[in-house]
Amino acid sequence: MQLGMIGLGRMGGNIARRLMQHGHDVSVFDVNPASVDALAKEDATPTHSLEELVKSLAKPRAVWVMLPAGEITEKAIETLTGILEPGDIIIDGGNTFYKEDIRRAKALVAKDLHYVDVGTSGGVWGVERGYCMMIGGEKAIVDHLDPIFKTLAPGLGTIDRTPNFQGDSRSEEGYIHAGPAGSGHFVKMVHNGIEYGLMQAYAEGFDIMRGKSSEKLPEDERYTLNLTDISEVWRRGSVVSSWLLDLTAMALNESPNLEEFTGKVDDSGEGRWTINAAIEEAVSAEVLTAALFARFRSRIDNSFGEKLLSAMRNKFGGHVEGKSHAPSIQG
Amino acid sequence: MQLGMIGLGRMGGNIARRLMQHGHDVSVFDVNPASVDALAKEDATPTHSLEELVKSLAKPRAVWVMLPAGEITEKAIETLTGILEPGDIIIDGGNTFYKEDIRRAKALVAKDLHYVDVGTSGGVWGVERGYCMMIGGEKAIVDHLDPIFKTLAPGLGTIDRTPNFQGDSRSEEGYIHAGPAGSGHFVKMVHNGIEYGLMQAYAEGFDIMRGKSSEKLPEDERYTLNLTDISEVWRRGSVVSSWLLDLTAMALNESPNLEEFTGKVDDSGEGRWTINAAIEEAVSAEVLTAALFARFRSRIDNSFGEKLLSAMRNKFGGHVEGKSHAPSIQG
Amino acid sequence: MQLGMIGLGRMGGNIARRLMQHGHDVSVFDVNPASVDALAKEDATPTHSLEELVKSLAKPRAVWVMLPAGEITEKAIETLTGILEPGDIIIDGGNTFYKEDIRRAKALVAKDLHYVDVGTSGGVWGVERGYCMMIGGEKAIVDHLDPIFKTLAPGLGTIDRTPNFQGDSRSEEGYIHAGPAGSGHFVKMVHNGIEYGLMQAYAEGFDIMRGKSSEKLPEDERYTLNLTDISEVWRRGSVVSSWLLDLTAMALNESPNLEEFTGKVDDSGEGRWTINAAIEEAVSAEVLTAALFARFRSRIDNSFGEKLLSAMRNKFGGHVEGKSHAPSIQG
Amino acid sequence: MQLGMIGLGRMGGNIARRLMQHGHDVSVFDVNPASVDALAKEDATPTHSLEELVKSLAKPRAVWVMLPAGEITEKAIETLTGILEPGDIIIDGGNTFYKEDIRRAKALVAKDLHYVDVGTSGGVWGVERGYCMMIGGEKAIVDHLDPIFKTLAPGLGTIDRTPNFQGDSRSEEGYIHAGPAGSGHFVKMVHNGIEYGLMQAYAEGFDIMRGKSSEKLPEDERYTLNLTDISEVWRRGSVVSSWLLDLTAMALNESPNLEEFTGKVDDSGEGRWTINAAIEEAVSAEVLTAALFARFRSRIDNSFGEKLLSAMRNKFGGHVEGKSHAPSIQG
């Protein structure tokens, strides 16, 4: 099948590669000509503008936009909207906020264009493992693009099948049609919200194990635990085995004390939007929120609010910071 | 190798079975004679009292206690202490609080007995998958028991090896010697704390996806998502794939609405002790705590504290319960 | 000073009353004629439409809108915008989202109208205690309205003055000009966010004290505490004394077990928007969020997520709901 | 009435003073002779050992121990136990863990000694405001000591009485007999747990208001709020007025940016024990726990867990710390 790919970064480039390796025909464009040239050497059709990209495709065209979410993606889609012709399809494979998808899809309908949003998980491993995709849009259009998605998805692989699986067989191959416009990005958004929660659960557990060697604990209740071995042992047979644990084991094997990291942890829109969605629905989401807030907190030294706590303690009890009789282990 | 097994429930019985299937020689005892008889048919040596069990073993004896943590285990170990002879070994494979292990190990040293604590993960799947074991105790004793642990552990299996793994090779087979007495149960305790956090992260994410169909949301922002398909699709290629997700996919495949569950969720000691440990170490463990509290909250209708909130609102604002203009989706 | 008041509910009616009691001249309108008649008997100028209300006032007019936030307020302001004349002032005293204020103020500038947002705290007690007001808008306009705000505010009263107070003297009287349009409602929004947190802190503390009588605790560690007396004793000399505690003491004095409440606690927009603001600013706000989520959770029986937890426990451990050996006190 | 006071620090010295100012007869002891001398000048009977202190009192003696909780208090009480005679009373006015009280009271009964635990709130302000006291112990003994408690308590003062108050009149004066041994400290412990929650609620709210001036927010949605004025304005007529807010207003009036504080906030045993109690009772206490964890987190730079989050992000997405496209306001 033929596809245009806009944005040849880590994700877009690899997606194009995986498609070509499986016989699809891909036209590529990126603002960086070197990225275009690199893909051209791997048999992609190089183009040097959106117009040229569009012209290189047969109707009905399918153009996959793989750019950073926000203004850059928005602008590319606006330009495409002016160039494409009735029946053509725009696919947004980035991390766009689902309400933007809903708005865009409505606007495009007026021009007889189709919009498909694809939440794509798998990160840098996707080119090898395949990409897990959550897709939103019109059924007929998603069905039309099926050869693309089928190729990009991991497939059944070596993972045990769910016994007597009753659902959509595509989900067993690693992609789903989640629903109308925006639903693909919505499911991907929640996926990332969950991801934050899972990561924070491991982080706290390893913190507690590491803290168990503190000299502030009674001597016979201290353990100096080998976290590399623990992350490895849990990979087999335990309840907490997961892909994130596999990565944790790799990281701790390479660097048991993780000195090369500051611990200032970024977050992206999805984690935040997940909490906003929970609030809109009046769903309690303590764990996902705590995971997000832990990242916020990791990036500052001390907050004004914390200074205020010290100021209050000083006012009511004459407490001076750092002069407490309190037991304090960590820090 | 020879082992005595006390307690032939789901865990103890299966552990005995797995050992015998691999050529070990197991004497068994349970207060329920039917359980003893069943194992005897599978070639175990049946015994009908702790004394008889001990006598059936050659010195130095190794006796594995697989009973509910707390009084029952405590009593069995007290009795054994009176029967065993210098050099013999007691293994506690249950979910004992690690400070109890420390206390016990000290007491047993005085009698020249050895104590080994084994945190065992794997649940009902262990007989098939193997048991992930975290072991505390004296190095020489743990080494002596290695044939037992090696048999029970899952082994390398089909799971990808961590590249250039530098750690203890036992951890790659699914068991570790964590450190002195209590450390095995301590690591298992944190494992369960993490387990709660992981489970709650998924639970909240699926709640948010389910809530997205609410009629209280704007009509064009609603999605009716197929949670069975979503749990399945994430199993391959996504960042949140895990064994708990595999189980989630199984559960949702069998029962998409989970009507057979009340949602009143039990907790066991480990989740609580993990938080206590975090507090002792002054480690922030928001996610693990929120996961525990969510279970507490799930088991009641409404708390007195919630009534107090309503009472305060009534006092300051004349608010009557259920008469708010506020947007309320869930509930 | 002359003021038009639209909306004569609990808040609007009492504000009009307090103004008239202090010599201001108030024209009133409400869709319910009975409310208009009632105020007319207390010397207000009755009007029966927005047009009539506007005509009853001298230029530059000041019209206070005291209606439920959202569509109703929006519509009233739209209508007023068409009737008022250059130089006139619209005051929104409700709980409008501050971003709406920003939008409105911009739109009104084009018509040479002025917009003032007033966050008003004090609830049903305001008519007696005075209203604490947080005001956003142009400085000249807020200064012009000062006689109104000064009358509505509590004044210095009997509360001890902050020693050597350096700030704006209006804040000592119970009102402030917070900044440009929307800032009044923004500060009021955060006020309500804090309010949720304070309430939840008391609620949890009283829950823990009440739970201390549980028969599941060891007999010699149980206390049956008199919560009415405790709420009263903390009112004098303790660190936790507050107006919310005064109300708590009243409520527990009238009804020690609060049987007349279900504990299903409503929330309004401010608590939600406060969390959204925290997320936009990347500020960790665990306590305010937990307080909001506790209200969400109070309104449902059990969540789908909780059922999912039970389903996972059943899958990995064969656990059956309610059959745990775990210690469980509450519930 | 006659009382012996052991420990003449900020709390003990002031308690002795307040008692003497109201005509009570106080013998004093402290390891620091200068403290003894200072009180002697204010008419206290100076003593230079526990033995001398005991001898200076008539039977049945009442000795108030006002020392740091833990070993120091424990040792003083052990010594006293050996010196006192049947019928004498030991009062522990410190912040002892209530389970210690239960243990001690049982041990003292065997020697016909009485034990009273007094949780004392009021901090450095107590000498002026009076002390709010929560008292545990035998009814007859607490009644016997009533003149002491009545003097130390704030009394009705100028605070509005709860209408038609039905409870124990002592609670209106600022002290209560909470129940048997340990209950006084238990109630005080929960008081402090609530205190943490209240403080954190204000801290987060002020953080959100301060963060609203960030240049990372859209320009027309920024406000530069005067936090001194806001803390002052809420003191009168708002729902969030409290003594802690009074102190906040004082602190912000003296130092609007609180530069003299690091924001590394200590905690003491009570906050931790409150969470342990909640866990024992299976009561969800999210807000009180989050407040405690915020203090833990404030005292460290970055946790190992946070480094682990960065390591995982690097592994799955190739993310480099600090290179995110994510919106980040604070930090």
DSSP code per residue over B74-93: HHHHHHHHHH--TT-EEEE-
Q: For chain D, how many helices (H) and strands (E)? A: 15, 8
Render pLDDT for A157-176 as a digit per residue (tens, 0 to 9).
Answer: 999 999 999 999 999 999 99
B vs D, Cβ pairs < 8 A, gives 45
Residues constituting chain C: 331
Of A190, A136, A167, A173, whose CA–CA distance to B256 is shortest? A167
- Tell me the pLDDT of chain C (331 aa) as tens digits: 999 999 999 899 999 999 999 999 999 999 999 999 999 999 999 999 999 999 999 999 999 999 998 899 999 999 999 999 999 999 999 999 999 999 999 999 999 999 999 999 987 788 888 999 999 999 999 999 999 999 999 999 999 999 999 999 999 999 999 999 999 999 999 999 999 999 999 999 999 999 999 999 999 999 999 999 999 999 999 999 999 999 999 999 999 999 999 999 999 899 999 999 999 999 999 999 999 999 999 999 999 999 999 999 999 988 888 765 443 333 3
Q: For chain A, how many helices (H) and strands (E)? A: 15, 8
HSE-CB at C22 with a 13 A cutoff on CA atoms is 19
A vs C, Cβ pairs < 8 A, gives 45
- D108 min Cα distance to partner chain A (Å): 27
Per DSSP, D52 falls in state H
The answer to whether the beta carbons of residues D121 and D107 sit under 8 Å apart is: no
Distance from C-alpha of B96 to C-alpha of B136, rounded to nearest angstrom: 12
Q: Contacts of residue C252 in chain B, CB cutoff 8 Å?
A: 308, 311
Distance from C-alpha of B211 to C-alpha of C110, rounded to nearest angstrom: 41
Which regions in chain A score pLDDT beneath 50?
Answer: 325-331
Q: How far is CA B84 from the centre of its chain?
A: 29
Q: Does the beta carbon of B303 lie under 8 angstroms from any beta carbon of chain A?
A: no
The answer to whether the beta carbons of residues A23 and A47 sit under 8 Å apart is: no
Render pLDDT for D226-265 as a digit per residue (tens, 0 to 9).
Answer: 999 999 999 999 999 999 999 999 999 999 999 999 999 9
DSSP code per residue over B138-176: -HHHHHHTHHHHHHHS--STTSPPPTT--S-HHHHHTEE
Dihedral, CA atoms, D239, C275, D228, C126, nearest 10 degrees? -20
Distance from C-alpha of A85 to C-alpha of D1, rounded to nearest angstrom: 97
Of D33, D32, D28, whose CA–CA distance to D13 is shortest? D28
3-state secondary structure of D208: helix
Write the residue in A276, A293, A299 that is nearest to C285 by C-beta: A293
Buried b (16+ CB within 10 A) or exposed e, B99-108: bbbbebbeeb
Write the residue in A275, A290, A316 that is nearest to C239 by C-beta: A316
State the pLDDT confidence band at D18, using cuts at 50, 70 and 90. very high
Render pLDDT for C204-218 as a digit per residue (tens, 0 to 9).
Answer: 999 999 999 999 999
Residue in B with minimal Cα distance to A157: B236
pLDDT given for residue D32 in this prediction = 96
- The crossing angle, in degrees rounded to 10, of helices A286-298 and A269-281 is 140
The most distant pair of C-alpha atoms in chain D lies apart, rounded to whole Å, by 77
Distance from C-alpha of B197 to C-alpha of A120, rounded to nearest angstrom: 25
One-letter amino acid of C113: L
Distance from C-alpha of B179 to C-alpha of B167, rounded to nearest angstrom: 15
pLDDT given for residue B328 in this prediction = 37
Render pLDDT for C277-331 as a digit per residue (tens, 0 to 9).
Answer: 999 999 999 999 999 999 999 999 999 999 999 999 999 988 888 765 443 333 3
The answer to whether the beta carbons of residues A252 and A238 sit under 8 Å apart is: no
Helices (H), chain C: 10-21, 33-40, 50-55, 71-83, 98-109, 126-129, 139-144, 146-152, 169-173, 183-211, 227-233, 243-254, 269-281, 286-298, 304-317
CB contact under 8 A, B302 and C262: yes
Render pLDDT for A51-81 as a digit per residue (tens, 0 to 9).
Answer: 999 999 999 999 999 999 889 999 999 999 9
CB contact under 8 A, D287 and C249: no
pLDDT given for residue B325 in this prediction = 45
- At which residue do the structure tokens 């080998």 appear? A226
Q: Which residues of D are catalytic?
A: 188, 195
Q: Contacts of residue A279 in chain C, CB cutoff 8 Å?
A: 272, 275-276, 292
Q: Establish whether B139 is a catalytic residue.
A: no
CB contact under 8 A, C284 and A294: yes
- Element (DSSP H or E) covering residue D298: helix D286-298
- At which residue do the structure tokens 């016989």 appear? A23
Which tokens in the block code for residue B116?
């080994």
Of A121, A120, A117, A105, whose CA–CA distance to A142 is shortest? A117
One-letter amino acid of C171: S
Distance from C-alpha of B196 to C-alpha of A298, rounded to nearest angstrom: 23
pLDDT given for residue A208 in this prediction = 98
- D301 min Cα distance to partner chain A (Å): 7
3-state secondary structure of B321: coil
Which tokens in the block code for residue C277?
């603001």
Q: Summarize the confidence of residues D116-121 as an average pLDDT.
A: 96
pLDDT given for residue D323 in this prediction = 62
For an interface test with D, the pick among B190, B293, B315 (most D C-beta atoms closer than 10 Å) comes out as B293
Q: Summarize the confidence of residues D102-117 as an average pLDDT.
A: 96
Q: In chain B, positions 97-116, which contact chain A (CB-CB < 8 Å)?
A: 99, 102
3-state secondary structure of B32: coil
CB contact under 8 A, A261 and D310: yes
Q: Does the beta carbon of B7 lie under 8 angstroms from any beta carbon of chain A?
A: no
DSSP code per residue over A162-210: PTT--S-HHHHHTEEEEESTTHHHHHHHHHHHHHHHHHHHHHHHHHHHH
Q: Does the beta carbon of C220 lie under 8 angstroms from any beta carbon of chain B?
A: no
pTM of whole model > 0.80?
A: yes
Checking if the pLDDT of D224 tops 90, the result is: yes
Q: Establish whether B188 is a catalytic residue.
A: yes
Residue in D with minimal Cα distance to B279: D272
Write the residue in B134, B158, B278 that is nearest to A233 by C-beta: B134
- The crossing angle, in degrees rounded to 10, of helices B269-281 and D269-281 is 180
- Return the number of other C-beta atoms located less than 10 Å from residue C328's C-beta: 19
- At which residue do the structure tokens 């961590």 appear? B162
Of A200, A102, A181, whose CA–CA distance to A142 is shortest? A181
pLDDT given for residue A324 in this prediction = 53
Per the DSSP assignment, residues forming a β-bridge with B46 are B28
The answer to whether the beta carbons of residues D204 and A305 sit under 8 Å apart is: yes
State the pLDDT confidence band at D329, using cuts at 50, 70 and 90. very low
The answer to whether the beta carbons of residues A180 and A136 sit under 8 Å apart is: yes
Distance from C-alpha of C242 to C-alpha of C249, rounded to nearest angstrom: 11
Which regions in chain B score pLDDT beneath 70?
Answer: 323-331
- A208 min Cα distance to partner chain C (Å): 20
Of C188, C174, C210, C148, whose CA–CA distance to C274 is shortest? C188
The answer to whether the beta carbons of residues B61 and B4 sit under 8 Å apart is: yes
State the pLDDT confidence band at D324, using cuts at 50, 70 and 90. low
- Element (DSSP H or E) covering residue D175: strand D175-179
Write the residue in A244, A265, A313 that is nearest to D306 by C-beta: A265
Helices (H), chain B: 10-21, 33-41, 50-55, 71-83, 98-109, 126-129, 139-144, 146-152, 169-173, 183-211, 227-233, 243-254, 269-281, 286-298, 304-317
